[in-house]
Amino acid sequence: MKKIYWLLLLLWTVCTCPEKVQAQDFEQDSIEFSLLTCSPSTEIYALYGHTAIRYRNMTNGDDWAFNYGLFDFGAPNFIWRFTKGECDYELGIIPYDLMEEEYRRRGSAVYAQVLNLTREEKENLFRLLMINYQPENRMYRYNFLYDNCTTRARDRIEEAIDGTVEYQEYKGRVLTYRQIIHQYTADAPWAEVGNDLCLGIDADKPITLRQEMFAPFYMKDYASHAVICTPDGKKRPFVLREEILVPLPEQHPAEGTSCLFSDYLTPVTVGVVLCVMTLLVGVLQYRRNRIYWGVDLLFQVLVGLMGCVVALLSFFSEHPTVGSNWQILLLNPLPLFFLPRVIWCAVHRQKTSLHMIYLIWLVFFMIFSVFTPQDFCAPVVSLACILLIRSLGYILYYKKNQI
């Protein structure tokens, strides 16, 4: 049924596509363009909200949304390509009513900023959008920070304007990509950890006003106060009026619900609990004069697997800022190579210098994490503490048994 629905929608779109707009509609100035901003919802891919361009034809009643955020989960090797930063998005044209219904169902608000464009600028914007919609042009290489649905909509609008758009800068405000991302993931701590594990030091560098606009609501805010400067020196507001097309429900889905996982098992809580448990295991190990090497197996495999992901992103991915990730000093595949030797020595109660080397390296890493400009996420620091406790436990065991 779902395939039939989308097939019918595709046929309807082809038959009623706004390519058939008449020139007199522009001459009568009966067309209106709006910048749409959709609020975030609880799905991972919707945590940051969304931006689209709305086209309304008052003459024939056409009402369409130009959406640069379409992608196909079923595309060949989608997960692998997404991991490598080679995910392709495309421009789609969908009836606005369907888009509104989708976001209403999610419990997301939809805000419209009607653009203050001249008749010629509206015609330019429509022409540019239709050129983008041509089959050979509609696909583009998506980049979360530099080239996404929000920046694409902004660039097409600016390109259509006869003049320039001046945005009001907030004096004294200096933000980074990571800070803005954290604002959107504040209610999704595990998603925030996933981002922080992947983002490198470049995400902590100050960004410009224009770079802030990768986030839909930053774009919305800047658009509200922007002005269009024409070649003859005149200025006019960028936005003609603002509307709330879909209000937030009285109780937002993200509010009023309590979940044990999200409320108590936060990354910080889990990290602290694991550190305490590792410390208790170390005390028990020392008193009983035994080596619980299963703990090392668990955490070293965890570090190694996480390190494989970080290394893959650092060296092979096209995603922005991931190639400068200093967390690779801790999270790398090397523990997987040394793990057999560590376990063999633990089982046969033999000394190895690997623990002393690891201890020195972990102390260096923790000192480095304090002074580096990169913002290391809390679970990484917790994991470093756990490994430090385990290495120290082995050294104390060697000393106690004079090995």
Per-residue confidence in pLDDT tens, the chain, 403 aa: 334 434 444 444 444 556 555 555 565 568 999 999 999 987 777 789 999 999 999 888 899 999 998 876 666 666 667 667 778 889 999 999 999 999 999 899 999 999 999 999 999 999 999 999 999 999 998 888 999 999 999 999 999 999 999 999 988 888 999 999 999 998 889 889 988 998 999 999 999 999 999 999 999 999 999 999 999 999 999 999 999 999 988 765 444 444 445 567 889 999 999 999 999 999 999 999 998 999 999 999 999 999 998 998 888 887 788 888 999 999 999 999 999 998 998 888 888 899 999 999 999 999 999 999 999 988 999 999 999 999 999 999 888 888 7
Q: Report the amino acid identity of residue 63.
A: D
Q: Are 303 and 331 in contact (CB under 8 A)?
A: yes
Query: pLDDT at position 79, please?
Result: 62
> Quick one: how far is CA 200 from the chain centroid?
13
Give every CB contact of residue 36 below 8 A, 6+ residues apart in sequence. Answer: 51, 52, 53, 54, 65, 99, 110, 111, 112, 245
Q: Report the amino acid identity of residue 38.
A: C
- Please tell me the distance from the alpha carbon of residue 202 to that of residue 178, in angstroms, as a whole number: 9
- Please tell me the distance from the alpha carbon of residue 387 to that of residue 391, in angstroms, as a whole number: 6
DSSP at 398: H
Query: pLDDT at position 78, please?
Result: 63
Task: Determine the angle formed by the axes of helices 216-224 and 149-160, rounding to 10 degrees.
Answer: 30
Domain boundaries, the chain: 2-246, 266-400
Count of CB atoms within 10 A of residue 257's CB? Answer: 11
Among residues 59, 3, 172, 38, the alpha carbon closest in space to that of 110 is found at 38
Tokens standing for residue 261: 């996982």
3-state class (DSSP) for residue 229: strand
> Quick one: how far is CA 309 from the chain centroid?
17
What are the Cα distances from residue 266, in Å, to 187, 258, 389? 10, 13, 22
- Please tell me the distance from the alpha carbon of residue 337 to that of residue 347, in angstroms, as a whole number: 17
Query: pLDDT at position 87, please?
Result: 80
Core vs surface per residue 268-301: b (16+ CB within 10 A) or e: eebbeebbeebbebbeebeeeeebebebbeebbe
- Please tell me the distance from the alpha carbon of residue 166 to that of residue 209, in angstroms, as a whole number: 11
Core vs surface per residue 40-59: b (16+ CB within 10 A) or e: bbeeeebbbbbbbbbbbbee
- Please tell me the distance from the alpha carbon of residue 190 to that of residue 206, in angstroms, as a whole number: 25
Query: pLDDT at position 3, please?
Result: 42
Query: pLDDT at position 83, please?
Result: 67
Q: Report the amino acid identity of residue 158.
A: E
Phi, psi (5° rounding) for residue 358?
Answer: -65, -40
